């Protein structure tokens, strides 16, 4: 049976398709988590091998999706820039990860049966 924390097991990732047209999934949430760890959009983007521009565009998309921004950025300059998750950003990330865990737990038996049917290497 797959375990939620086992990286070698089958896992569920969610993609939320909002009625307004926005999408939030594993990649954007992982980027948000990296921004929280790194304190920088550029550093978070590098963690995933993406350009600063691509990371910034994803952050801008997510920030526009919600009633208030999920990421607060400080401009560069002599004092340096940086970015941090806002309280709403922290909440959205936690809620997304909770939903992902619940989906995995709920579908554990089905995932195990699907995994058992995979071709053996």
> pLDDT tens-digit profile of 63-117?
999 999 999 998 766 566 799 999 999 999 999 999 999 999 999 999 999 999 9
- Does the residue 33 lie in any domain? yes
Task: Please check whether residue 4 lies inside any domain of the structure.
Answer: no
Query: If DSSP codes are grouped into helix, strand and coil, which group holds residue 83?
Result: strand
Q: Is residue 17 within a helix (H) or strand (E), and if so which, with residue range?
A: strand 15-17
Residue 78 is predicted with a pLDDT of 59
Paired residues of 72 in beta bridges: 84
Q: Give, in order, the Cα–Cα distances in Å from 89 to each of 23, 40, 72, 119.
A: 15, 14, 9, 40
What burial class does residue 116 get, using C-beta atoms within 10 Å of its C-beta: 0-12 exposed, 13-18 middle, 19+ buried?
Answer: exposed
- What's the average model confidence in pLDDT over 23-29? 97
**Where is average pLDDT lowest: 19-23, 48-52, 66-70, 73-77?**
73-77
pTM comes to: 0.85
State the CATH number of the domain containing residue 92: 1.10.10.10
61 belongs to a structural domain: yes
State the total domains in the chain: 1
């Amino acid at each position: 049976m797959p375990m939620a924390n086992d990286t070698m097991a089958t896992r569920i990732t969610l993609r939320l398709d909002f009625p307004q047209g926005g999408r939030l999934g594993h990649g954007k949430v992982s980027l948000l988590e990296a921004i929280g760890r790194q304190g920088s959009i550029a550093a978070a983007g590098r963690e995933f091998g993406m350009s600063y521009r691509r990371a910034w565009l994803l952050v801008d998309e997510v920030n526009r999706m919600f009633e208030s921004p999920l990421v607060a950025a400080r401009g560069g300059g002599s004092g340096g820039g940086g970015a941090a998750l806002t309280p709403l950003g922290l909440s959205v990330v936690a809620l997304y990860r909770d939903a992902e865990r619940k989906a995995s737990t709920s579908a554990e038996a089905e995932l195990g049966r699907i995994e058992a049917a995979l071709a053996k290497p």
